[in-house]
A and B are shown apart, each in its own frame.
Chain A
Amino acid sequence: GAGVSQSPRYKVTKRGQDVALRCDPISGHVSLYWYRQALGQGPEFLTYFNYEAQQDKSGLPNDRFSAERPEGSISTLTIQRTEQRDSAMYRCASSLEGLAGTDTQYFGPGTRLTVL
């Protein structure tokens, strides 16, 4: 079956512009995670959704970052007034059940964001 998909795969933007990154989880998956990954480092947790409820947003770096999942399926991560330090790979993951501690996360291919 289809895995997690993300779009766009690559995004180049100018400093100060807003960007919206989309994640399409595996159909029927309850949980959705967003991560940011800098080159040579492990993924950094940003936020977590259980269905449409954003249950943990403790990893969002500042108020320029926001995420939503209005119908409990597709999710959008929005970065306002982008800065060069926002350049990174943004990854989305989904899991079938909302079982804290034990769920298996399936990762998408990521969106490579470059802020000029």
Chain B
Amino acid sequence: DAKTTQPNSMESNEEEPVHLPCNHSTISGTDYIHWYRQLPSQGPEYVIHGLTSNVNNRMASLAIAEDRKSSTLILHRATLRDAAVYYCILRNTGGFKTIFGAGTRLFVKA
């Protein structure tokens, strides 16, 4: 299974943008890049996913490098409620096994 590498933790100030990086140098052409986040004491929740092009939704934006070996989740204005563990996951169209990894713990300062 293709793996991802994320920083253990990051810190941000409230109302500032946050860029969460993810490296996936062994990504294959049939791997989608997914991001989930897990708020304290809750189950993971879907944030965004993409294949090659950048993606935007109401929660975040996903910027994917041209070679697809890295991606960045962008929270445009961090709030205290965005403090969570963010997981970058590769999901292949050939199966359903989902490998989460340790994720990045985001701290947001008021």
The residues of A with any CB-CB pair to B shorter than 8 Å are: 4, 31, 33, 35, 41-45, 48, 50, 55-56, 58-59, 91, 93, 98, 100-102, 104-110
A104 to B44, CA, bound (A): 11
Most chain B Cβ neighbours within 10 Å, of A31, A33, A43, A107: A43
Q: How far is the CB of B100 from chain A (nearest CB, A)?
A: 3
Given A91-B43, A100-B91, 18 further pairs, Cβ under 8 A:
A33-B96, A33-B98, A42-B87, A42-B100, A43-B100, A45-B97, A45-B98, A48-B97, A56-B96, A91-B44, A100-B92, A100-B96, A101-B30, A102-B32, A102-B91, A104-B49, A105-B46, A108-B43
Set B87, B95, B103: member contacting A56, Cβ < 8 A: B95
Hey, which chain B residues are within 8 Å of A100, CB to CB?
A: 91-96
B residues 32-46 near A (Cβ < 8 Å) are 32, 36, 42-46
Q: Which of B42, B46, B94, B96 has the most CB of A within 10 A?
A: B96
Q: How far is the CA of A50 from the CA of B46 in the complex (A)?
A: 20
Identify B103's interface contact among A33, A42, A45, CB under 8 A. Answer: A42
Contacts of B32 on A, CB cut-off 8 Å?
Answer: 101-102
**8 A Cβ contacts from B1-45 to A:** 30-32, 36, 42-45
- What are the residues of chain A within 8 A of B95 when measuring CB–CB? 56, 100
Cα distance, A107 to B100, chains bound together (Å): 13
Among A56, A105, A108, A109, contact of B97 (Cβ-Cβ < 8 Å) = A56
| Interface contact A101-B92, CB-CB below 8 Å | yes
B102 within 8 A of A: yes
Task: Name the contact of A55 in the complex, choosing from B43, B45, B96, B103 (C-beta under 8 A).
Answer: B96
CB B32 to nearest CB in A, in angstroms, measures: 5
Kindly report which residue of chain B lies nearest to residue A48, judged by CB atoms. Answer: B96
Cα–Cα, bound, A88→B102 (Å): 16
Contacts of A35 in B (CB 8 A): 100
- Known contacts A42-B103, A101-B30, A102-B32; A107/B96 CB under 8 A: no
- A42-B87, A100-B92, A100-B93 known; A105 and B42 CB under 8 Å? no
